[in-house]
């Protein structure tokens, strides 16, 4: 178990894995996406990402509140909400630019429509206002408004989860149950712009918060109930995998993901418990130490998410273009798909390392600038040297 004031290696590792999966899952010709979570479960990387977001937010809030104060932690998360909103605007802008390039190159892909570029051509000012007010959220930028809202809520929900976890859990469940009627109150036409209903997905975020501030004890992990839960979770996960692989004939409707359907929650809970047992046994920590690059991606989450959206859009469109030009049978040509996967992974690894080094250098410069310089006495405009004490004076 990690201390309330330390960063979890396992969480950063999982965040890195999820960011890589998000990138490859949005490349239609990807080979690796055929082996990711959504192929074997009724949940996908979105549940994992939001859960880890709640866990990491609770860890950051409690650590800052412990080191400094609750007011400092609140200010940090208000600032964080603004940072995520700016990242959303930047990502939306990149999506529009991507749509413009695809249209200019005459690449036949539905991504042009998803980026909202055709709408921008017909009403540029109106769409710009709609994007700023969250009434339209181009393609992969749509998850960030939800995170911005959650960041604003952290100063309220984390202390509540610490002091009254039962009220926090049941309050979150109540909001989740009312999520679909509440959707109509969001900006947009009955919330249609929101690919993720924040009233529903807050349940996953709150679960992550509770997992951090109310962790499962080592005694419970070592007991018989934990072993029975593990056996049940494995049975549920295998059953769902069988249905996904052999019985499901078409993709579930989009509203099930938008509103976080019960089936997705149960599927995630089973897998999360199995993984939690792996963390308790120390297996995940050992794996994370062998893959420090993935951990670095998790630590640079926001910038890697933005980069991943752009990389996946570019690679998906490139594969489509090559298919149109007869350079491969898109999307079944696994060699091109595997190359695209490799480019996406290497790009995120390199960017995360660069960004981490950049932040470290900036922090070092700031620390050096904060060091006070010794004052030298001045008499009649001339500096007077201060004698250094010799050994006899000490």
pLDDT of residue 210: 97
Express each pLDDT in 65-101 by its tens digit: 999 999 999 999 999 999 999 999 999 999 999 889 8
Q: What is the pLDDT of residues 313-361, one digit of tens each?
A: 889 888 877 764 444 444 457 888 899 999 999 999 999 999 999 999 9
- Cα separation, 172 vs 168, in Å, equals 6
Cβ atoms of 338 and 33 closer than 8 Å: no
Helix (H, G, I), strand (E, B), or coil: what is residue 379? strand
Confidence of residue 184 (pLDDT cuts 50, 70, 90): confident
If you average pLDDT over residues 232-259, what whole number do you get?
A: 90
158: left (phi over 0), alpha (psi -120 to 50) or beta: alpha
Q: Is the pLDDT of residue 389 over 90?
A: no
CB atoms within 10 A of CB 80: 20
**Percentage of the residues of the chain whose pLDDT score is greater than 90:** 67
Residue 364 clears pLDDT 60, i.e. is over it: yes
Quote the mean pLDDT of the chain.
87
Q: Where are the domains of the chain?
A: 9-247+254-366
Asked if the model's pLDDT at residue 379 lies above 60, the reply is: no
287, 9 Cβ separation under 8 angstroms? no
Number of H helices and E strands in the chain, helices first, is 18, 2
| pLDDT over 50 (residue 392) | no
Instruction: Determine which of 12-16, 80-84, 191-195, 275-279 has the lowest per-residue pLDDT on average.
Output: 191-195
Using CA atoms, how far residue 235 sits from 221, 225, 227, 261, 271, in Å, is 19, 15, 13, 20, 10
CA dihedral 229, 170, 162, 14 (to 10 degrees): 50
Mean pLDDT, residues 292-299: 95
- Six-digit token string for 48: 């994992």
Kindly give, in sequence order, each residue whose CB lies less than 8 Å from that of residue 280, ignoring residues fewer than 6 positions away: 218, 221
- In this predicted structure, the answer to whether residue 230 has a pLDDT above a threshold of 60 is yes
Q: State the pLDDT confidence band at 190, using cuts at 50, 70 and 90.
A: low
Checking if the pLDDT of 6 tops 80, the result is: no
Q: Are strands 382-383 and 378-379 parallel, antiparallel or unpaired?
A: antiparallel
pLDDT at 21 over 80: yes
């Amino acid at each position: 178990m990690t201390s309330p004031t330390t960063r979890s290696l396992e969480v950063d590792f999982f965040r890195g894995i999820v960011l890589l999966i998000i990138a490859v899952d949005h490349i239609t010709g990807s080979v690796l996406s055929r082996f990711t979570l959504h192929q074997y479960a009724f949940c996908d990387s979105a549940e994992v990402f939001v859960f880890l977001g709640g866990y990491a937010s609770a860890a950051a809030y409690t650590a800052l509140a412990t080191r400094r104060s609750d007011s400092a932690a609140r200010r940090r998360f208000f600032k964080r909400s603004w940072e995520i909103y700016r990242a959303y605007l930047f990502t939306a802008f990149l999506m529009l630019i991507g749509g413009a390039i695809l249209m200019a190159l005459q690449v036949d892909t539905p991504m042009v429509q998803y980026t909202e570029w055709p709408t921008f051509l017909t009403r540029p000012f109106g769409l710009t206002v709609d994007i700023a007010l969250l009434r339209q959220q181009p393609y992969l930028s749509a998850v960030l408004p939800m995170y911005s809202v959650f960041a604003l809520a952290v100063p309220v929900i984390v202390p509540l989860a610490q002091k009254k976890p039962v009220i926090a859990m049941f309050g979150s469940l109540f909001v989740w149950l009312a999520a679909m009627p509440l959707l109509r109150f969001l900006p947009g036409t009955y919330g249609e712009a929101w690919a993720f209903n924040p009233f529903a997905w807050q349940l996953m975020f709150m679960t992550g918060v509770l997992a951090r501030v109310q962790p499962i004890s080592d005694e419970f992990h070592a007991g018989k109930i934990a072993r029975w839960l593990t056996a049940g979770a494995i049975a549920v996960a295998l059953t769902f995998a069988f249905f996904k692989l052999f019985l499901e004939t078409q993709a579930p409707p989009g509203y099930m993901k938008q509103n976080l359907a019960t089936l997705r929650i149960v599927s995630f809970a089973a897998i999360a418990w199995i993984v939690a047992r792996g963390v308790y046994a120390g297996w995940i920590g050992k794996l994370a130490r062998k893959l420090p690059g993935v951990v670095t991606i998790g630590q640079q989450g926001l910038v890697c998410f933005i980069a991943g959206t752009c990389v996946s859009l570019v690679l998906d469109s490139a594969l489509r273009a090559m298919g149109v030009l007869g350079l491969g049978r898109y999307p079944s040509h696994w060699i091109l798909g595997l190359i695209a996967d490799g480019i996406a992974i290497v790009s995120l690894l390199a960017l995360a390392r660069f960004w981490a080094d950049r932040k470290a250098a900036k922090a070092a410069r700031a620390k050096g600038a904060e060091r006070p310089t010794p004052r030298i006495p001045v008499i009649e405009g001339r500096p007077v040297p201060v004698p250094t004490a010799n050994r006899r004076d000490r």
